[in-house]
Amino acid sequence: MATNPLSLQMYTLRDLASVDYVGTLKKVKEIGYGAVEVAGVGGMGAAELRRELDAIGLIVSGAHVPIQALEGQLDTVLADMQTLGAPYLICPWMPPERRSSADDYRALARVLNGIGERVSRAGLTFCYHHHDFELHPFGDTTGLHILLHECDPGHVAFEIDVYWAAYAGVDPVQLIGEFAGRAPLVHLKDMAPGSRTFAEVGSGTLDIPAILNAARNAGAQWFVVEQDVCQRPPLESVRMSYEYLRGLGM
pLDDT of residue 41: 85
The pLDDT tens digits for 104-146 are 999 999 999 999 999 999 999 999 999 999 999 999 999 999 9
pLDDT of residue 201: 98
Which amino acid, one-letter code, is at 44? M
pLDDT at 1 > cutoff 60: no
Which amino acid, one-letter code, is at 117? E
The pLDDT tens digits for 4-56 are 599 999 999 999 999 999 999 999 999 999 999 999 888 899 999 999 999 99
What SS3 class is residue 41? coil
The answer for residues whose C-beta is within 8 angstroms of residue 184's C-beta and 6 or more apart is 88, 125, 127, 157, 159, 219, 220, 221, 222
pTM for this model (two decimals):
0.97
Q: What number is the average pLDDT over the span 89-95?
A: 98
At 160, the pLDDT band (50, 70, 90 cuts) reads: very high
Q: What number is the average pLDDT over the span 174-192?
A: 98
pLDDT at 2 > cutoff 70: no
Q: Which of 88, 40, 83, 80 is nearest to 62 (CA)?
A: 88
**Burial level of 105, CB count in 10 A (0-12/13-18/19+)?**
buried
Q: What number is the average pLDDT over the span 219-246?
A: 98
pLDDT at 3 > cutoff 50: no
